[in-house]
Amino acid sequence: MRLAVRGRPPRYCSRACRARAYRMRVADRSATDTRPGGRAEAQGEGRAGVRAEVQGGVQGEGRAEGQADPGAGPRADPGAGPRADPGADARRMPESTETGLSEGTLDQRLIVRTAIELADRDGVAAVSMRRVATELGVGVMSLYRYVASREELNDLMVDTVFGERPLPEPGPDGWRAKLELSAREEWALYRDHPWVSHLVAVTTRPPIAPSLMAYTDWRMRALDGHRLDFATMVQIAIMIGTYLQSAAMPLAHEAQAARATRNTRQQWADARQDALHRTLRTAHLPMVSEFGTEAFQASEPENIFEFGLHRMLDGVAALLDAVRAAGDTPAGSPAGPGDGRSGIDEI
């Protein structure tokens, strides 16, 4: 009867053996010497040395120290000096990437700028930490050293584009000229970066972006000194921003549709003419059925923006006139105790 062999197999590979095998693979991949002819020589020597070490380790695993190993060949002379590590030069080289970025080149500004360019090209829905890392040719985890989360990346993107359009100081004379200028600057920003409206509009949790907050602060200072209470100035400033963000949403949707369909809004309208005429003939829409080219132009986002901006400023002017006519009582909406300057801790 044949007894089962106890203990590890004769060619069992220990951790030390596996480590030597790993060094052999590193030596096979490493370009350790850039001198003419040196690379092949260094690789050949490194591979031979590490392979010999691995072979000797596998065959000699488990033998007592000093026991002969027939066929293993002569051992290296311990007094011959240290053997070169074929992977040492590769470990000293700076980490590189497909795009040529090396260690120390990546920073927050580059990450944010890449995300903005990606959003301009493919829309904000295409922006993710992984996609930005791919654009930069780096590992996704390397981004988190500079940007903690996708939410922080959104904040930084918004802060950057608003920071590129700072409002002038002190600005034009008069509250109306100031508010109109700030509105036109923000509208121009949405034309250049339609995706921004997706991040700032229709939300009760806006980005924490100092450059965006500066627009609100600038508008409130334009209204200061006209006997409005603090809460009313806040509401007017936010009302203007909310109007602009809502008016800009069609710009974002049009940019998205143009990318998906590769045609313009006019081309889309031309292709839908037959369906539109059928609807107008069958539905009872006496006013809408009078739509023509002039009405179509009036509904363009740019014209809607102009019309709404002037009507909104007319409303602010009417409020200020009512304040002056009322005398000494500050005008505004009820905001609880005080004048509405409650501080950030109470928000």
**What string of pLDDT tens digits covers the 347 residues of the chain?**
555 555 555 555 566 666 666 666 666 665 444 444 444 444 444 445 444 444 444 444 444 444 444 444 444 444 444 444 444 433 333 343 444 565 568 999 999 999 999 999 998 989 999 999 999 999 999 999 999 999 999 999 999 999 999 999 988 999 999 999 999 999 999 999 999 998 988 667 788 999 999 999 999 999 999 999 999 999 999 999 999 999 988 888 887 777 777 777 777 777 777 787 788 777 788 887 777 767 777 888 889 999 999 999 999 999 999 998 887 655 555 444 445 554 444 34
- 226 and 283 inside one domain: yes
Please report whether residue 249 resides in a domain: yes
Sign of CA dihedral 191, 197, 200, 201: positive
- 313 and 192 inside one domain: yes
The count of structural domains within the chain is 2
CA distances from 3 to 6, 8, 10, 293 (A): 9, 15, 16, 98
Please report whether residue 196 resides in a domain: yes
- 205 and 232 inside one domain: yes
Residue 344, Cβ neighbours under 10 Å: how many? 5
- 189 and 130 inside one domain: no
Please report whether residue 183 resides in a domain: yes
Please report whether residue 214 resides in a domain: yes
- 198 and 125 inside one domain: no
- 136 and 285 inside one domain: no
| Helix ranges, the chain (H) | 15-29, 38-60, 88-92, 108-122, 129-136, 140-143, 150-163, 175-192, 196-200, 210-223, 230-261, 265-271, 273-282, 293-298, 301-326
What is the model's pTM?
0.63
- 204 and 121 inside one domain: no
Parent domain of 258: 165-346
Exposure class string for 163-195: b at 16+ Cβ within 10 A, else e: eeeebeeeeeeebbebbbbbbebbbebbeebbb
- 188 and 296 inside one domain: yes
- 117 and 175 inside one domain: no
